[in-house]
């Protein structure tokens, strides 16, 4: 059948990966599950077949292939019928290595991306903690800078590849009072002094190792910081789309494999003198599943297409992850029923498919969190720019320009700021209006680079008002009233605005609680990065 998404070359790649999975993975599924481990050599074999660098730059040994090669790879990986293996490989290639490819320095790429693609070093991502899972901003692991190193202390849990892996991308707080804004990411060697791990027993994904990690005074070179300090939360949010897409693709492919496996069984197994496949109730159940899997597949392909085209994909990626993982969970339940008592026996692979699919609605953001994101977009009209590809995203390497608190030539005259030349401080108890007009004093043109955009602030209550803040050509200016087209509109109360600016309230919490309404979160995050915090005195 002709496909909208796959070319002849994609299908040839599918055939190659499928043969690899059939020969090198599927026959060993039971053994690896029993061993609770994936043999080390298999990573090397995958690398030798150019399977660990499909999306990554050719300069580091990757294939730099378009995203539909990754879709093919992940689908065939799941057709091995070994979801734990697919999870381990997926976390290594599309999460750990993806962070380094996206945010790592040249030195980090040489030290981890290149050997990662070669199957010599296996990576993990450690965000979740015993007291912070869905609420990423609440993590407590700390990284304190001391000269050329950071000292990391804290605990992580449920970390895939955290036990047998070689390096870990660790999320830690570099600024304790900053909430989401104070998180940074570090690459930490698994065998570094002070890192210890305990392997966790779990319901499924038996061959994949899941670890509880402890960081006790771990000395990490400052050069192992990924990207900029305090930007970790935004990097995690950015990479979530890929993680969710990966979860959707593997869920659909796993569900499809489970259905095919069950169809074969019901044609062979007899009851009341007929194959099970002749009983109408089973036929209808499986017809429903086939329809839902197809719907999940098409939704996932469309999400993948938007992601690949660098279009806004947050809504479709969240929908695809939610729907596909729920369909996969339902599929394994309905299919296990078709096997009767045999379905409940470990000897039958369907029991493994059932256990494995259960993880899908939890990992990479739970179904409830997906519904929260979708509800915000559908009901509250919140929108997001393409992750990391916002045309107006600030560029760290952009030339530094001097900040000027004046309108650019030809623009309407700006309301003169009420602030003095020195920035106003938290201690002076300014009004919200004064804080908005003081923004040019805290503006960082070096962080703004080529950014160009207008934000409308609608601040209710005493000391508030309506304001237009415009950034462009290395300048920031503020006007009274709402002018021009805004890339984002922010609506809040004067009290909440002041609480956020003075650090009394975490902006993410205020947003989640509905105290701040934002029409484009990504634009606001980009905008916020261009300003220093308010000084204490």
Output the smallest distance, CB 367 to ligand FAD, in A: 7
Q: Which is nearer to ligand FAD, 78 or 454 (CB)?
A: 78
Q: Which is nearer to ligand FAD, 92 or 114 (CB)?
A: 92
Mark 143-182 as b/e (b = at least 16 C-beta within 10 Å). beeeeebbbbbbbbbbbbbbbbbbbbbbbbbbbeebbbbb
Closest by CA to 525, choosing from 121, 294, 232, is 232
Which residues of this chain interact with ligand FAD, rule CB under 6 A? 91, 124-128, 133-134, 158-160, 202, 205, 210, 359, 362-363, 365-366, 368-369, 372
Q: What angle do CA 262, 264, 265 make, to 5 degrees?
A: 65
Residue 425: how many other CB atoms lie within 10 Å? 14
Output the smallest distance, CB 508 to ligand FAD, in A: 11
By beta-carbon distance, which residue lies closest to ligand FAD?
133
Alpha-carbon distance of 325 to 504, in angstroms, equals 38
Closest by CA to 124, choosing from 232, 210, 58, is 210
Output the smallest distance, CB 437 to ligand FAD, in A: 35
Strand 210-221 relative to strand 465-472, pairing: unpaired
Alpha-carbon distance of 172 to 143, in angstroms, equals 6
Torsion of CA 317, 319, 324, 325, to 10 degrees: 90
Closest by CA to 143, choosing from 91, 68, 39, 215, is 215
Catalytic entry in 129, 212, 243, 312: 243
Strand 149-160 relative to strand 123-126, pairing: unpaired
Q: Which is nearer to ligand FAD, 26 or 369 (CB)?
A: 369
Helix axes 67-78 and 232-268, enclosed angle (nearest 10): 50
Q: Which is nearer to ligand FAD, 89 or 159 (CB)?
A: 159
Output the smallest distance, CB 96 to ligand FAD, in A: 9
Alpha-carbon distance of 401 to 358, in angstroms, equals 52
Output the smallest distance, CB 69 to ligand FAD, in A: 24
DSSP lists the bridge partners of residue 479 as: 468
Q: Which is nearer to ligand FAD, 346 or 368 (CB)?
A: 368
50 a catalytic residue = no
Strand 488-493 relative to strand 453-460, pairing: parallel
Q: What are phi and psi of 228, to 5 degrees?
A: -95, 150
Output the smallest distance, CB 317 to ligand FAD, in A: 16
Q: Which CA distances in Å does 24 have to 66, 84, 380, 409?
A: 25, 15, 48, 66
Q: Which is nearer to ligand FAD, 214 or 366 (CB)?
A: 366
Output the smallest distance, CB 418 to ligand FAD, in A: 39
Long-range contacts (CB closer than 8 Å, 24 or more residues apart) made by 106-110: 107/223, 108/187, 108/223, 108/224, 108/226, 109/60, 110/60
Q: Which is nearer to ligand FAD, 59 or 513 (CB)?
A: 513
Residues with catalytic annotation?
243
């Amino acid at each position: 059948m002709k496909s909208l998404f796959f070319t002849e070359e994609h299908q040839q790649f599918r055939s190659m990966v499928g043969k690899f999975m059939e020969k090198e993975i599927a026959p060993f599924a039971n053994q690896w599950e029993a061993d609770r481990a994936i043999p080390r050599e298999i990573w090397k074999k995958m690398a030798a077949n150019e399977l660990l660098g499909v999306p990554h730059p050719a300069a580091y040994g990757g294939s730099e292939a378009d995203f539909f090669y990754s879709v093919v790879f992940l689908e065939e990986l799941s057709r091995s019928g070994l979801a734990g293996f697919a999870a381990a490989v997926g976390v290594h290639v599309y999460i750990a290595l993806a962070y380094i490819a996206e945010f790592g320095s040249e030195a980090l790429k040489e030290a981890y991306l290149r050997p990662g693609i070669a199957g010599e070093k296996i990576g993990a991502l450690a965000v979740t903690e015993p007291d912070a899972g869905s609420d990423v901003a609440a993590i407590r692991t700390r990284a304190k800078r001391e000269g050329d190193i950071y000292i990391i202390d804290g605990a992580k849990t449920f970390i895939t590849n955290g036990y047998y892996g070689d390096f870990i991308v660790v999320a830690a707080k570099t600024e304790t009072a900053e909430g989401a804004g104070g998180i940074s990411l570090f690459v930490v060697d698994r065998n570094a002094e002070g890192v210890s791990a305990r392997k966790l027993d779990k319901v499924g994904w038996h061959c994949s190792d899941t670890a509880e990690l402890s960081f006790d005074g771990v000395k990490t070179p400052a050069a192992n910081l990924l990207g900029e300090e305090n930007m970790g939360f935004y990097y995690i949010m950015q990479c979530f789309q890929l993680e969710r897409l990966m979860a959707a693709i593997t869920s659909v492919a796993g569900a499809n494999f489970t259905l095919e496996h069950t169809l074969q069984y019901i044609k062979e197994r007899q009851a009341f003198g007929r194959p099970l496949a002749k009983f109408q109730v089973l036929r209808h159940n499986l017809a429903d599943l086939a329809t839902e899997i197809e719907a999940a597949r098409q939704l996932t392909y469309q999400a993948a297409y938007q992601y690949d085209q660098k279009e806004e994909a947050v809504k479709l990626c969240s929908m695809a992850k939610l729907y596909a993982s729920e369909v996969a969970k339902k599929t394994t339940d309905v299919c296990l029923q078709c096997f009767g008592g045999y379905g409940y026996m470990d000897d039958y692979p369907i029991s493994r498919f059932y256990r494995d699919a259960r993880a899908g609605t939890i990992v990479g953001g739970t179904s409830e969190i997906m519904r929260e994101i979708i509800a915000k977009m559908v009901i509250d009209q919140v929108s997001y720019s393409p992750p990391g590809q916002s045309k107006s995203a600030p560029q760290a390497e952009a030339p530094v320009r001097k900040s000027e608190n004046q309108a650019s030539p030809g623009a309407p005259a700006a309301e003169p700021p009420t602030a003095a030349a020195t920035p106003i401080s938290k201690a002076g108890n300014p009004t919200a209006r004064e804080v908005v007009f003081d923004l040019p004093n805290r503006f960082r043109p070096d962080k703004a680079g080529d950014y160009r955009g207008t934000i409308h602030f609608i601040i209710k209550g005493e000391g508030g008002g309506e304001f237009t803040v415009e950034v462009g050509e290395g300048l920031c200016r503020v006007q009274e009233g709402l002018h021009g087209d805004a890339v984002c509109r922010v609506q809040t109360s004067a009290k909440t605005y002041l609480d956020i600016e003075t650090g009394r309230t975490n902006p993410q919490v205020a947003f989640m609680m509905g105290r701040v309404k934002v029409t484009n979160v990504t634009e606001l995050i980009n905008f916020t990065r261009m300003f220093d915090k308010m000084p204490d005195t």
